[in-house]
Amino acid sequence: MNSKNGLVGILVANQRQRKYALSQFLSHNAAGMKLISFTPSSIDWKQRTVIGLHRVKGKWAVGRFPLPQVVYNRCYGTEPKQIERLDAAIGGGKCFNKINQLNKLDIYNVLNRWLTDYLPETVLYDPENALNLLERYKVVYFKPFYGNMGRKVYRAEINSAGEILIGHHYFSPKTIAKNLDSFHEKVGQLLGSTSSIVQRGIPIQQTNGQVFDIRSLVQKNEKGLWSVTNLVSRIAYKGSYNTSIFVKVCQSEEVLKQLYPAAKVKEIMTSIYDISLRSAEIIDMSTDYHLGEFSVDVALDNDSHPWIIELNGKPQKELYKEIANRSVVYQRPIQYARYLYGKQPL
């Protein structure tokens, strides 16, 4: 059932996700690969086969296939040993986004050697580190190593009266600590045993009184080279700092044009392109994640300086539903898969 252009498997967490994941890419398969979606539990290691969903003669069907020649990992946070085993089984270097659940502290430490000017200071959470950053910057964020969608992200701000206001999703406080002992106790209760970071708070530029970010989607192309596919902005609800819960998604250029003259918009976008591509080079050089795509979330401060807030190893494709010229978002991973298919195994 293999096509002459090779079999690409999209790895997802469970059977419910197979159709949705596969449907996103089928209509953008300009590379002409045979696409299937499958789950870790469907792999038969002895027979070297998988049970996968595919599209045949306009209908959905389930079939047994040989191990795909290239695997695109869309299974968030899968046990790395299993992905390594799959990569080795198909020839080595043919499974991309092997590690897609990125450790925020590790990523900061990797990038900080070269991109210090664009990274808000970030340290391992403990009471002493939290107090140190809070005293210096007046605002800090607490984030779990592996969190996403703003879950368990808290903002703490110390006011002129010495009170510490702790918010969740919103600037308005969820709780107020009257002293340092109370602050440490409340944060400890909120974070629990989750390994977390403390990050310097940036005074984020807003549009119409709403926080926005700039998400740079970085993908490898048909030549195996990094390129920035687009910049989109998520606009948060009024009063919220969490852009993962957004009112609107649009091209970043639309937002920037409301705030800056054309020359400044071009300067900001060029800077973000450069930072994103440099991040990609550093990740490739310093890790064995084998990413074929990731996103860089950037915030501007009140001086229009860009700050890398975090990287995401499994970019949400749903963000691009209403974005013009979005086809390339889905084409790139399959183009890169075609490139890997044409390479000799490691």
Model confidence over 203-233: pLDDT tens digits?
999 999 999 999 999 999 999 999 999 999 9
Helix, strand, coil content of the chain in percent (nearest 5):
30, 35, 35
Same domain? For 111 and 209 the reply is yes
CA 206 to the chain's CA centroid: 22
Q: What is the mean pLDDT of residues 104-109?
A: 98
Same domain? For 212 and 303 the reply is yes
Same domain? For 53 and 111 the reply is no
Number of domains composing the chain: 3
Angle value at C-alpha 324, between 318 and 327, nearest 5 degrees: 65
- Residue-number span of the structural domain to which 289 is assigned: 104-117+205-313
CA distance 156 to 172: 10
Single-letter code of the amino acid located at 73: N
Q: Please provide the DSSP assignment of 6-24 as one string.
A: -EEEEE-SSGGGHHHHHHH
pLDDT for 345: 60
- pLDDT bucket at 78, cuts 50 / 70 / 90: low
Does residue 151 surpass a pLDDT of 90?
Answer: no
**CATH code of the domain containing 161:** 3.30.1490
Does residue 305 surpass a pLDDT of 70?
Answer: yes
Contacts of 261 (CB under 8 A, 6+ apart): none
| CB neighbours of residue 322 within 10 Å | 11
CA distance 61 to 196: 43
Same domain? For 239 and 110 the reply is yes
Percent of the chain with pLDDT over 70: 97
In tens, the pLDDT along 311-333 reads 999 999 999 988 988 999 999 99
Q: Between 151 and 96, whose confidence is greater?
A: 96
Same domain? For 48 and 174 the reply is no
Same domain? For 139 and 12 the reply is no
Diameter over CA atoms, the chain: 70
Does residue 343 surpass a pLDDT of 90?
Answer: no
Q: What is the mean pLDDT of residues 260-286?
A: 98
Show the tokens assigned to 142.
Answer: 């607490």
Q: Whole-prediction pTM value?
A: 0.94
Does residue 1 surpass a pLDDT of 80?
Answer: no
pLDDT for 39: 96
- pLDDT bucket at 10, cuts 50 / 70 / 90: very high
pLDDT for 344: 64
Percent of the chain with pLDDT over 90: 89
Name the H helices within 138-261. Answer: 180-191, 252-259
Does residue 4 surpass a pLDDT of 90?
Answer: no
Same domain? For 50 and 158 the reply is no
Domain boundary among 182, 200, 218: 200
341: helix, coil or strand?
helix
In tens, the pLDDT along 166-201 reads 999 999 999 999 999 999 999 999 999 999 999 999
Name the H helices within 102-170. Answer: 104-111, 127-137
Single-letter code of the amino acid located at 295: S
pLDDT for 2: 42
CA distance 103 to 286: 14
* Average pLDDT across the chain, whole number: 94
Same domain? For 183 and 91 the reply is no
CA distance 18 to 22: 6
CA distance 234 to 242: 9
109: helix, coil or strand?
helix
